[in-house]
A and B are shown apart, each in its own frame.
Chain A
Amino acid sequence: MTRSILMSGVNPFSRLLQVQDALENSRVAPSGWFASGLLGKGTFPPVNILRDDAGCIVRFEVPGLDPEAISVQSQGQTLTVSGKRSGGGEPGTLHRNERWHGEFKRSIELPNDLAPSQAEASYQNGVISIRVPVCEESKPKQITIQAN
């Protein structure tokens, strides 16, 4: 990633480009738990999973949904997101349609150190964002030693 930015003469500190390159690299070579393709790549809608120390964020880009029509469920380590999207809503002659309509459902199996039951989901500007915190047992804990 840094190699190509430095050599292209582009401002190396451009934040957006760095972010985009990082996203593109992990599209091509996903790492970690999800790399073995458990998620059924190619199904709709596309998902992005990002991590930081406090947990992970699962994002779907699905503009135009009615927020009441979205369902986010957790069962064990599986997070399931489903919803329904309808079209433009106006009748009339269709000239071009690149927007899909219909129902969608995707399930994601999250690693054991996350707690899907404590997840929080929000829908803003057409992006479903689900924040899944790390579960309590995975946080580092100091164990006191009894000295006799």
Chain B
Amino acid sequence: MANEVAVKQETESPDENLQPGRIYAPNVEIRETDDALWLWADLPGVDEESVDIRLENDVLRISGDVKPDEFGNLTPVYTEYNVGSFRRSFRLPSNIDSGQVEAKMRHGVLELRMPKPPAARPMQIPITVQ
């Protein structure tokens, strides 16, 4: 189990990037509360300026770029993971308003809060007893 979680999934992007390089799909966690949809994505090595989030036609696209410069003149002697940029897209329910999405980036984790419009929230319908 630990082995599957640890290995980065390389992803084939339908649109080719201008720069060559392997692209990985970040691991995500998606939860839904009554008022919002939450998404956390693991983007290790990516800082805030290198993250791009777009919501267009109900498709959420997350991308984060990693800089190769920090390798300098280091030689790898033992590696268990590779380093690369991240891309992933999700199709969201149609009622999320892109103007209301909040994004936070902390310690390599991107946290997105996508509030649901009031009409989509579950409403308790009171039962009157006759």
Contact = CB atoms under 8 A, between A and B. Distances in A.
Most B C-beta atoms less than 10 A away, residue of A23, A62, A87, A93: A23
A26 B78 contact: yes
Contact of A44 (B5, B33, B72, B73): B5
Nearest to B81: A46
A48 B79 contact: yes
Contacts of B7: 46
Interface of B: 2-3, 5-7, 19-22, 27-34, 38, 40, 42-47, 66, 68-69, 71-85, 106-109, 111
A98 B21 contact: no
A97 B33 CA distance: 15
Interface of A: 10-11, 14-20, 22-27, 30-35, 39, 41-52, 56-57, 61-65, 67, 87-88, 90-100, 123, 125-127
Given A27-B80, A63-B109, 10 more contacts: A14-B21, A16-B20, A19-B71, A24-B79, A41-B80, A48-B80, A61-B44, A88-B29, A91-B33, A127-B108
Given A87-B29, A95-B32, A98-B29, A64 B109 contact: yes
B78 A49 contact: yes
Given A20-B83, A63-B107, A33 B75 contact: no
B73 to A, nearest CB: 6
Given A63-B42, A63-B109, A64-B109, A27 B22 contact: no
Given A42-B3, A126-B42, A98 B27 contact: yes
Contacts of B75: 22, 50-52
B44 A93 contact: no
A95 to B, nearest CB: 4
A57 B19 CA distance: 27
A14 B32 CA distance: 41
B108 A22 contact: no
A97 B38 CA distance: 12
